[in-house]
Structure formats: C-alpha cells, structure tokens
Amino acid sequence: MTDERHSSVAGQPATSDTAGALHSVPLPPGWDEAVRLDEDPATIPDPASVEVPAELRAEVERRMAMYPEHHSAVLPALAAAQQVHGWCSPEAIEQVAAVMQVTPAYLSSVATFYDMLRTQPLGSHYLYVCTGVACHLRNAKAVYESIEAQAGEQGLEDWEVREFECLGACDMAPMASIDGRFIGPIEEGDAGELVTALNEGRQPFPGRGLSDPGFRLPWADGGAAPDRPGPPEQPDVHPAGGTWKDAEVLDMPPAEGPSPHPRPLLKPLDPGTSEVPEPDEEP
Amino acid sequence: MTETRVLLANIDEPDLNTIAVYERLGGYRAMRKALLEMSAEDVLHELGESGLRGRGGAGFSMGKKASFIPKGAMDKYLCCNADESEPGTFKDRLLMQKNPHLLVEGCIIGSIAAGANKGFIFIRGEYSVQADILEDAVAEAYEKGYLGERILDSGHTFDLVVHRGQGAYICGEETGLLDALEGKRGNPRLKPPFPANQGLYQGPTLINNVETLCNAPIIIDHGADWYRKFGEGNSTGTKIVSVSGNVQRPGNFEVELGVTVRELIYGLAGGPPEGRELKCFFPGGSSAPVLTKEHLDLPYTFEAMAQAGSMLGSGAIIVVDESEPLVPLALRLAEFYRHESCGKCVPCREGTNWTVKVLERVDEGEGTPMDLEILEQVQGNIIGNCLCVLGDSMAMPVASMLTHFREEFEQHMEEARLARDLEELPAMGAGELGAVPEAGPV
C-alpha cells in the first residue's frame, strides 16, 4: 500500500533528505532506503539474547495461545508492540520476532501493509480525520486542513495527525477518531479547541463522542444536520470562438435520399432465428 | 414513513450490551432452541428457508453458503466479517456497539449450521471501542457457559475470538480477511478453491457479515415463515440502511426490503438540504454505480437495484445533491481505491492510479477531451480482470458517473482549463505586449 497521506506535522518528515534532491515528488517511506548487500539477512532472533518487556511478552504469548496457528497473532502482537514503543520500530519488531520465532523481515512486510501500524516514529497517539466519500460531501477536507494548520501553529507533540479513509461513522460526518474515540460532527472552527485540548491532555468535546454516555446526534430529535458551505464558485468565462464541444451541436442539413438506417424492428425475433421479419402493414 | 425494527428492536434499551439485560429481553433463547431442540440440519434448513441473503455486499443466500461446508470430522471455522470499511456503511458499528450479544448468539447459531467449532470476529482496528465491547460480551458468554466446551451439555463446542484488523479496506474481502487472520498481508486469494472448501488454515470456512449473523437468532426464534413475511420477492427480511452524505438527517434506518428509495432518502433521512435537489446517489456503498432521480421510486431490493444497473451492496445510501461538483467527488473516490488497492493485480493497481491521475488533470484544468475517453477505457479494462472486486468497485461507480453526467465532466474540464489560463495570463507576460490590457480575458 502506498502511504502518501502521512502528515509530517507531528513527527519526522516522511522522506529522508537525500530523496528531496533527486525527486520533486516526495517518495513514500522506505523507497529510498538501499538494501545492505554486505550484511547477511536477519535471521530469527535468539530469544535468550533479546530483552523483551515482560508485559509485551505476556501479551504476545497470550495472543499466540488464542489461535490454532500462532502466526495468526502477528497483527495483535504488532499492535501491542506499537503500544509499548509508540511505533513499529526495528527494536519493537525484533522483540516480537523473538517471542513469535519469525524473521523480522516477515513482520516488517506485514506492518507496512496496514495503515494503523506506524513504520515511522510519527507519535504514539493518533488523530485520524475522516475524509472519505461521505465526509467529503460534508466539508471534511477543509476541517482536516484547519486541524492540520492548528497542529502546525500550536505544535502537537507525540500525535500522528493524518487524513484517514472512511472510518465508518458517516452519520456524524465530518468526524475524527482520537485514539479510537469518535467525535463529530466537527466544524472548521473546532480545530483550535481540539488541538489545545489534546496538548493539555484533556478529552476534547466531552459529550460529543460516539461512545460518550447519552450521546445523540444533534438532529436526533428533529431539525437538520448543519449544511456544509457551498462549493467554490467557478468563474463565469466565455471563451472567444466557442469551445470544442460546440462543434458537435451544429445543425446539419437533412441528407437527401433514403435513411441510411435499417428499417425499425417492429416485432421481436422468433426464438432460434436471426431473420428480420417484415414490418406489419400500417393500418 | 416509519422504520420496521427487528434487529434494532431493543437498540435504545440502556445497558443492552450486558448479558443480563440481553437475556431479560429474550436473548440466547434462540441459541437454546437451536442447541437443545433442533439438529444441525434443522438449523441449516431454517436459515435456508428464510431466504436470508448476505448483508455484506454480494447478497448471496446465507443458507446456501452454509450448506456448501463439507460434512466430516475436519476442523471447520466460522469467520464473522466485521471489517466494515465500505465508505458510507456504519450499520455493523451500531449493532456491535449497542447489541454485541446478538452477534455472539448469531455466531453460535452459525457455527451449529456450519459444524464449526472455532470462530473469529474480524473487526476493523479503527472500531477499538466496539471491539472492547465485543470482547467483554464474549467474556460474559464464556462465563455463562454459552461459549466453550460442550455448550449447555449439548455436545457442541464453539470457541470465539475477537480479532482486530489494523486498517486495510481489502481485509473486508473474504479471502483477504483470511490472509490477515493468518497473520499475513491481506492480499486476496485466487478463487476457487472457495473458502467453504479451503479457507482459514486450509479448512472449510463459513464467512458472514455481522448483520447476516445477527439475523440468525431472529430467524431461529420466530421461524423462517415469520421472517419471510418481511421483504419483497427474493429479498426477504429487514435491512439496516445507512443513509449519509447530503441529507438532513443522516443515520441508520431499519426498513423492510422493498420500500422505495424515495421513502428512505426523503421520508427517513429528510432529503437534501432545503432548496436543493438530489443529483445522484450511491445505493449500496461507494462501490455501487450511481443512480439518479429517475430511480428514486424503485423498491429497495437486491433485484431492483441490479436491474437498474447498480447494486444493493452493503445497504449504504450516499446522497449527492445538485450543488456538489462530481469531478472532485469521483477523484476522492478513486483516491480511496488507489490507496486501498493491495497491488497484487495489474489492472487494479495501475487502473486506480491512472484514474486518479486523469481525474486530477481534468480537475486542475490540464484535461483534454481525450482524457474522458481514456478514463472510460481504463474503467472498461479493470472490470472483471482482477482477483477480487476492489478494482471493479472503483471502475463501476466512476464509469457510471461518466455515463450519467458526461456533460458535467466536459463542462468542469472546460471551466477548470479556462480558470487556469486566466491565472497564468499575467505570468505569461501578457501585460508586456502593450496592446493587451493587464487583466481580464482576451
């Protein structure tokens, strides 16, 4: 999966400095990292030589015991390691590999596939702003941009701020997910308060989260959802000489002679034949 | 216009997510009946007779799917697809958050029909609150002895695990889900073999959507004949429809299949904002080809939507009103599928990428009439040429927008091009020509 949407506000830039000189378009992370051909490929780590935090080890082993094949625990194990380390760092990957007895490369290949597993140190908390199709229809792009701007202005340490695909809460669009807590509907004007609350460690907009006690959509008791601002007006311009599509609507003079089209088919074909029947005589 | 609440009957009950309240309202009665009074064949027969069709998108008969699971002593699995990632769909979120035990009970009944003794609920990682609630519900069910070894001394053993995804739309595709569940990248597999024969860990696997499984306890409790009274023709039962986009009251509404689309969009969801008309709507999530005003009076059934050239899909209606420009919407849609394409098949990986590039050109004023031809051609080359339907899911709605609203695409392209030209005029040094005034079009 290409990962072009990572915001660089909350953490390191998504590409290394050397990439910028060669490419004007930023590359997804990892593309510019050369393979070390002089090194042997990493093998399954020796469990005795890798130090794993006791809690992480217990969680990974608990997960492995839940499945008929312990490989199934890869996703929960990586998520647990991300909880501990803030991202799927090489260290985190090695620890999981040591407990699960798989190669680090295998875990990296899995981690790079999934949007919620961070392969860059972008922050140990996440703020996903949904800009999916349904939220797009409710001004989500502008909401995201104002949140991003506020995060840049106020500074937001240790938070990964990014656009996210449909989060499954289109009824409260536009919405965002703060470490799994869905809030919405949010407006552009909410961005400042949202970022301030996150910075101060407060829960933003208590009562407006989907899982907050007594949560109801603002229009649940009648009324209507707030309308989004209208789309930008396109300038009203009339080019001299008309445009290419005007050529198609020219009135052509009627052609002389019989119609080039075949006679209209008046009766459906008999099954199994391809013969065009004679049209019925007009009454 | 009112809803017909069967699945959502008790949804507003406080603490419905606890087993005590759920049982007080008749919960786990169907499970007892299925375990103690019915044989596995009876359960399978009842589910088949009800005419219940899959609620995840494909609309395949649930009873038929379960009957494909081979008999025998091998390990068989049940997977509940709770990776609800289709844009516009949020019905499973509501069910799992408010009524998790209905899903647990549905999984148990599904496992009886399939003969499975190990089950997994694959829930998308973004639904972390809902996954916590589900995990609590599963733990409660274990405590009561409704899950585990020899449930209620019946001889049926069933273990259930809540497995969280980590954010990939493609894991909603059934074989992608299986790979993700096996701890791999979620790439779809070649079919056949179908999961019913070789699925999870190469064993026979029944995969059903959350809403489908939630229907199972209701069918067993009331009987297939009762259930079949709801709905129309081959679309039996009720359906939770998620309505979103440019409507006044977006939300989940449970209706009998067969109500008109107009009733759903205007009656329940309040229609587009005051003073605006509907331009088009996606009848079954963003993967469904768009339909227009003239389709508003069609009954909302699997058949009618298919006949109109679209699909009922996951039952998510996204409404687009007349003020919404379609090119940016199509672009946003294509960007989603480009981002979520796993990259295994060329038509999908390249097709989604080029669709985005062409639409960007059109939107930014770089487009030429040929771009629309290319756009159409690319969509035609994706459809039916990939392992799974992700590519088709982009190609069909984009192609349908182009079919229904080609004039708007042409106009948008023309206006964007002129707007860009106007911006570039001063930069091109037009002012230095002397005869040409500094501002304004020539």
- CATH code for the domain in which residue B374 is found: 1.20.1440.230
Kindly report the backbone phi and psi dihedral angles of residue B207, in degrees, each rounded to the nearest multiple of 5, phi listed first: -115, 125
Partner residue opposite A234 with nearest CB, options B89, B184, B415: B415
Domain for residue B191, yes or no? yes
Structural tokens at position A84: 């501990």
- CA-CA-CA-CA dihedral for B356, B357, B358, B362, to nearest 10: 90
Same domain, B98 and B215: yes
Domain for residue B314, yes or no? yes
Amino acid occupying residue A195: V
Which residues are CB-neighbours of A36 under 8 A, at least 6 positions away? none
Same domain, B79 and B193: yes
pTM for the whole thing? 0.85
Same domain, B136 and B54: yes
Reduced to 3 states, what is the DSSP secondary structure of residue B351? helix
Domain for residue B64, yes or no? yes
Partner residue opposite A79 with nearest CB, options B92, B166, B249: B166
B440 pLDDT higher than 70: no
How does pLDDT run across B373-403, given as a tens digit for each residue? 999 999 999 999 999 999 999 999 999 999 9
Same domain, B115 and B173: yes
Residues 25-64 of B with CB under 8 A from A: none
Do A211 and B333 make contact, defined as CB atoms within 8 angstroms? Answer: no
d(CA B129, CA B232): 36
Same domain, B238 and B93: no
Same domain, B380 and B296: no
Q: Give the position of tokens 């597993």.
A: A117
CATH number at residue B224: 3.40.50.11540
Residue A10: band (very low, low, confident or very high) from pLDDT cuts 50, 70, 90: very low
Shortest Cα distance, chain A CAs vs residue B157, angstroms: 15
d(CA A185, CA A225): 9
Partner residue opposite A66 with nearest CB, options B161, B247, B419: B161
Residue A273: band (very low, low, confident or very high) from pLDDT cuts 50, 70, 90: low
More confident residue, B80 or A9: B80
d(CA A170, CA A147): 19
Q: What is the mean pLDDT of residues A27-56?
A: 82
Domain for residue B3, yes or no? no
Rounded to the nearest integer, the mean pLDDT of chain A is 79
Kindly report the backbone phi and psi dihedral angles of residue A8, in degrees, each rounded to the nearest multiple of 5, phi listed first: -100, 10
d(CA B44, CA B42): 5
Rounded to the nearest integer, the mean pLDDT of chain B is 93
Rg (CA), chain B: 24
Domain for residue B375, yes or no? yes
Same domain, B102 and B117: yes
Q: Which of B284, B304, B321 is the last residue of a domain?
A: B321
CATH number at residue B264: 3.10.20.600
Q: What is the mean pLDDT of residues B319-346?
A: 94
Domain for residue B194, yes or no? yes
Q: Are B54 and B209 in contact (CB under 8 A)?
A: yes
Chain B: residue whose CA lies nearest to A213: B14
d(CA A46, CA B364): 55
Domains of chain A with CATH codes = 30-111 (no CATH), 125-200 (3.40.30.10)
Contacts of B328 in chain A (CB under 8 A): 136
How does pLDDT run across B17-31, given as a tens digit for each residue? 999 999 999 999 999
Rg (CA), chain A: 30
B427 pLDDT higher than 70: no
A241 pLDDT higher than 60: no
Same domain, B198 and B305: no
Shortest Cα distance, chain B CAs vs residue A271, angstroms: 23
**DSSP string of A64-122, one letter each residue:** HTTSSSGGGGHHHHHHHHHHHHSS--HHHHHHHHHHHT--HHHHHHHHTT-TTS-SS--
Which pLDDT value is given to residue A72?
A: 96
Contacts of B338 in chain A (CB under 8 A): 2
d(CA B104, CA B28): 9
Chain A: residue whose CA lies nearest to B15: A213
Residue A74: band (very low, low, confident or very high) from pLDDT cuts 50, 70, 90: very high
Contacts of A217 in chain B (CB under 8 A): 250-251
- Cis peptide bond upstream of A76, omega within 30: no
| Nearest C-alpha neighbor of A112 from the set B346, B187, B128 | B187
Same domain, B330 and B363: yes
Amino acid occupying residue B255: V
Reduced to 3 states, what is the DSSP secondary structure of residue B105? helix
- Is B202 part of the contact surface with chain A (CB cutoff 8 Å)? no
Same domain, B355 and B246: no
Domain for residue B37, yes or no? yes
How does pLDDT run across B23-70, given as a tens digit for each residue? 999 999 999 999 999 999 999 999 999 999 999 888 899 999 999 999
How does pLDDT run across B204-229, given as a tens digit for each residue? 999 999 999 999 999 999 999 999 99
Domain for residue B254, yes or no? yes
Which pLDDT value is given to residue A222?
A: 74
Structural tokens at position B2: 């009112």
Partner residue opposite A211 with nearest CB, options B129, B340, B422: B129
Do B323 and A1 make contact, defined as CB atoms within 8 angstroms? Answer: no
Number of domain units in chain B: 3
d(CA B232, CA B302): 10
How does pLDDT run across B150-207, given as a tens digit for each residue? 999 999 999 999 999 999 999 999 999 999 999 999 999 999 999 999 999 999 999 9
Q: Which of B209, B229, B249 is the last residue of a domain?
A: B229
Same domain, B193 and B53: yes
- Which range has the worst mean pLDDT, A21-30, A49-58, A270-279, B323-332? A21-30
How does pLDDT run across A124-171, given as a tens digit for each residue? 999 999 999 999 999 999 999 999 999 999 999 899 999 999 999 999
B148 pLDDT higher than 50: yes
Chain B: residue whose CA lies nearest to A177: B126
Structural tokens at position B75: 């390990």
Which pLDDT value is given to residue A261?
A: 52
Which pLDDT value is given to residue B160?
A: 97
- Is B401 part of the contact surface with chain A (CB cutoff 8 Å)? no
Chain A: residue whose CA lies nearest to B128: A180
Looking at chain B, the whole-number percentage of residues with pLDDT higher than 70 is 96
Same domain, B113 and B70: yes
Shortest Cα distance, chain B CAs vs residue A277, angstroms: 29
A216 DSSP 8-state letter: -
Q: Which of B174, B207, B229 is the last residue of a domain?
A: B229
A31 pLDDT higher than 80: no
d(CA B354, CA B340): 14
Which pLDDT value is given to residue A2?
A: 42
Q: What range does the domain containing B271 cover?
A: 232-321
Shortest Cα distance, chain A CAs vs residue B333, angstroms: 6
Q: What is the mean pLDDT of residues B308-319?
A: 95
Residue A21: band (very low, low, confident or very high) from pLDDT cuts 50, 70, 90: very low
Do B332 and A169 make contact, defined as CB atoms within 8 angstroms? Answer: no
d(CA A168, CA B86): 8
ipTM > 0.85, yes or no: yes
Residue A221: band (very low, low, confident or very high) from pLDDT cuts 50, 70, 90: confident
